[in-house]
Structure 1
Amino acid sequence: MMLGTEMLRGIRPITTAGSRNAFVTLVTNGDYAMGAVALARSLLLTGSPADIVVLFTGGVEASALQPLEALGCRLVEVDHLPLSHAFNLRHARGNLHANAPFTKGRKPAFHSPLDNFCKLRLWQLIDYSTCIFIDADAIVLKNIDKLFDYPEFSAAPNVYESLEDFHRLNSGVFVAKPSLATFGAMLKQLDEPDVFWRRTDQTFLETFFPDWHGLPVFMNMLQYVWFNLPELWDWRQIAVLHYQYEKPWEVGHPKAAQLRPLIDLWHAHYTGEGVPAPGSLPSPRDADAA
C-alpha cells in the first residue's frame, strides 16, 4: 500500500473521473493550452462519452485553463518527473537540440523537451481502464472510441517524409493502460546512467514497448504529409490530424503558406465556428492548383 501511495505522488486531480476511459493530453504553457482547447472542441464534436483529461504543469496560468474547464475537461496538475540532475541537463532544450538537431522542420521557441516526459504520468491515472493520449497540437476529425479496445501499447508510425518513417512510432497518439507497476518500471529505465533519449518521450516509449502495436497512419496524420506525401492524404480516412513541428497558432510561421488549409481548419475548431466537414476540404493537389 505504501508503494501505491508513493507512486501516486506528482499528480493532483482537481475532480473525479466520470468514465472508465479517457482521452488525455498534456499542457505545459499557454500556447499548448490554446491547442488543447481546439483538441477538446474537436473531441466533443465526435460525441464520445469518454472523459477529456488535461494534464497541466506549473507553467500554465490559471486563466489559460479556464476555457478547458468550461468545456468540461478534467484538469489534473502534474509535477515534472523525479529525474536526476544529470538527466535533466542532458535533455535540456539547448543540449538536446545540439546533440539531436531537428533537420526536417522547426520546433517553436516555446518547446521545452523536458516537459515531454510528463506525458508518462498518464500511467498514474489508475481510475481509468484505458487512455488514448493525444498531443495538444492535434485535432480529432472523427470518432475514435474503437481505440479503447486496442492493446497497450498502440501507436501510429512517424510517417511524414518517406516509407522509411514506418519503422518509428510517433508518440502524439497512443493507447495505454494506466498502471503504477508500469509507471515504476518506466521511471527506473528512463533515468539509467548516461542514457540519452534523442526524441525524448517518443524514443523512450519506442524502447520501452519494442513490440508496439501499429495503428493506421490515419490515426495520427502528421501535417508534413500534406506536402511531402500528398498521395497518402485522404480526408475521408483521417481521424487525427497532428500539427508536428510548426504550430497552427503561430503567426506567419515558415510553412504557413504551404499548410494554409490545415491551419484554417485548426482555427475553426479553436473558435468553434464554421467547422467544415472534412470531406468538403480540398486535397493537397487541389490546394496547390488554387
Structure 2
Amino acid sequence: MPVSDQAFVTLATNDTYCQGALVLGQSLRAQMATRALVVLVTPHVSRLLRALLSRVFDEVVEVSLADSADPARLALLRRPELGPTLTKLHCWALTRYRKAVFLDADTLVLSNIDELFDRSEFSAAPDPGWPDCFNSGVFVFRPSLRTHGLLLRHAMDHGSFDGADQGLLNSFFSDWATADIHKHLPFTYNLSCNAAYTYTPAFRWFGSRAKVVHFLGPRKPWTYKYNPQTGSVLDEGPGAAPRHELSFLNLWWDIYHRSVLPLYGSALGGPRIVALSVSVSEIAIQEKVRALSPEEQRRRWEEGHIDYMGTDAFARIQEKLDRFLH
C-alpha cells in the first residue's frame, strides 16, 4: 500500500546527472518501493530530461542552484565540480512529506529499502574515508522549513569544511558520531563500491548483502562504455572498470539499457545537450554542450543562468586565467 506522506528524494543538477537519477528511479520501481519518488532539478535541466524524469518519478520539483563557491576547499577533494551539491539542502523544503530518504543520483538500489522510513532524522551510514563522519549519499530526514532555514544560515555563517554538502551536513548534525547509535545505518545501505578495496575479505563476506551501492568519486557509471552484446562495460585496457566494481556497473548499465534508453524513443533525434552515442557494439553517454557566442555567454551569466558544471565551471575559469596570465 503506497504511503503518500513519505518519499524517496534525489537531485539532478544537470542533464548528465539525470541519467543517474533515471536509473536510480527505475531501480526503486523494480524493488517495489512503496513511497513517492521525487527528484529535485535545477534550471540547467532541459525540458526533454524533465519529461523523461516525470515518467519515472511521481514529482519533478525545480529548485534554485546553490553553490558553495569555495574552490580552495574543493581543491583539497580534487573535486571542483561538487560545489553545486549544496542544492541538496532544498530537500528539507519538501514539507508535504512527513519523512523522506535522500539518495544521490549516483546510487543504485539493489533491494527494497522501505524499512529506512522506520529510522529517525538524521540517520546515515559512515563514510569510508573518515568513519566518524557520515556519507551524505544516503540519509533519512524530516522535511522542515525551520531546519531548511537553519541549514542555509549555517552555510552562510560557517560554510563547509570540504566545500560540498557532506562537510556542511556533518558540521550541522555534529553529534551523529556519538549521540545515538541507532542513527548509524549499516554500510550495506551506502556501499561505496569503489572503496571496497581497503578490506577485500570484508567485501567478499558482506558485499552480497548490499542494499544500496554508491558510485563515489569522479568516475561515474555513465562515463563508461557499455557493450549490450556482452552485457558488460569495458573491463580491460586503460579505461577499464575496477574488478570489484564491475558487477555493479554492469547492473547499472543493464537497467539503463532496458528501462531508461527506451524512454527516449523518437526524442533521440531531437536537439539535446546530453545525447546518446549508439553503435552496433557499444553505448556511451556523452555530454555535448552547444557552443555559445561570447555575447550569449555574457547575457546568460548576467541573467543568472550560470553553467556551473560546464563552461562556467571553476576548472574552465582557472584555465582561462592561466592562459591570460601566461
State if a TM-score over 0.5 links the two structures: yes
Maintained 8 Å contact 1:139/1:241: yes
- What letter matches 2:257 in structure 1? T
Aligned partner of 1:125 in structure 2 is: 94
Distance 1:196 1:72, change over 3 A: closer
CA distance in 1, matches of 2:201, 2:50: 38
**1:27-106 alignment to 2 at 5 Å?**
27-81=12-66, 88-89=68-69, 91=70, 94-98=71-75, 100-102=76-78
The one-letter code sitting in structure 2 at the alignment partner of 1:184 is G
Which residue, out of 175, 191, 202, partners 2:140? 175
Counterpart of 1:240 in structure 2 is: 212
Runs of 4+ in 1 over 4 A off after TM superposition: 252-255
In the TM superposition, residue 73 of structure 1 has moved relative to its aligned partner by: 3.3
Please give the alpha-carbon distance, in whole angstroms, between the structure 1 residues aligned to 2:11 and 2:164.
15
Over 3 Å counting, the alpha-carbon distance change for 1:272 and 1:266 in structure 2 is: same
Q: Does 1:204 align with 2:158?
A: no
Q: Which residue of 1 aligns with 2:83?
A: 114
Instruction: Tell me the distance in 2 between the aligned counterparts of 1:218 and 1:68.
Output: 27
Aligned-partner Cα distance in 2 for 1:257–1:166: 23
Q: Which has the higher contact order (CA 8 A, sep 6+)?
A: 1
| 1:151 maps to 2:97 | no
3-state SS in 2 of match to 1:191: helix
Deviations 1:174-204 (A, max 9, x none): 00000011111111111116x4431511011
Equivalent residue, structure 1, for 2:252: 266
Structure 2 partner of 1:5:
none
8 Å contact kept, 2:108–2:213: yes
Aligned length: 236
Q: Deviations over 1:106-142 (max 9, x none)?
A: x5xxx73231011011110000011100000011011
Q: Give a deviation string over 1:187-224, Cα, whole Å, max 9, x none.
A: 1111116x443151101111111222210000000012
Q: Tell me, in whole angstroms, the C-alpha distance in 2 between the residues paired with 1:45 and 1:209.
A: 32
The structure with the largest alpha-carbon Rg is 2
Contact residue 132 and residue 174 of structure 1 kept, 8 A: yes
C-alpha separation in 2, matches of 1:266 and 1:18: 27
Judging by fraction of residues, say which structure has more helix: 2
- For residues 229 and 73 of structure 1, the distance between their equivalents in structure 2, rounded to whole angstroms, comes to 39
Q: Please report the TM-score for the alignment, with normalisation by the length of structure 2.
A: 0.67
- Tell me, yes or no, if the aligned pair for 2:77 and 2:162 is still in contact at 8 Å: no
Match of 1:249 among 208, 216, 222: 222
Is contact 1:39-1:136 (8 Å) kept? yes
2:131 paired residue number: 166
State, as a whole percentage, how many aligned pairs show the same letter: 33
Q: Tell me, in whole angstroms, the C-alpha distance in 2 between the residues paired with 1:168 and 1:240.
A: 18
Q: Cα deviation per residue 1:199-250 (whole Å; 9 max; x = unaligned)?
A: 5110111111122221000000001233332223234310100001110110
Q: Distance in 2 between matches of 1:95 and 1:119?
A: 21
Q: Which one-letter code corresponds to 2:132 in the other structure?
A: H
Code of the residue aligned with 2:56 in structure 1: it is L
- The answer to whether the 8 Å contact 1:43/1:140 transfers is yes
Q: In structure 2, which of residues 201, 210, 225 is the aligned counterpart of residue 231 of structure 1?
A: 201
Counterparts of 2:151 and 2:196 in 1: how far apart (Å)? 34
Change (3 A) 1:123 1:268: same
Preserved CA contact (<8 Å) 2:38 2:57:
no
**RMSD in angstroms over aligned alpha carbons?**
2.2
Q: Which structure 1 residue ranges, 5 or more long, are not aligned?
A: 1-16, 274-290
Residue 66 of structure 1 aligns to a residue in which SS?
helix
Q: Secondary structure at the match of 1:166?
A: coil
Query: Are 1:119 and 1:201, in contact at CA under 8 Å, matched by a contact in 2?
Result: yes
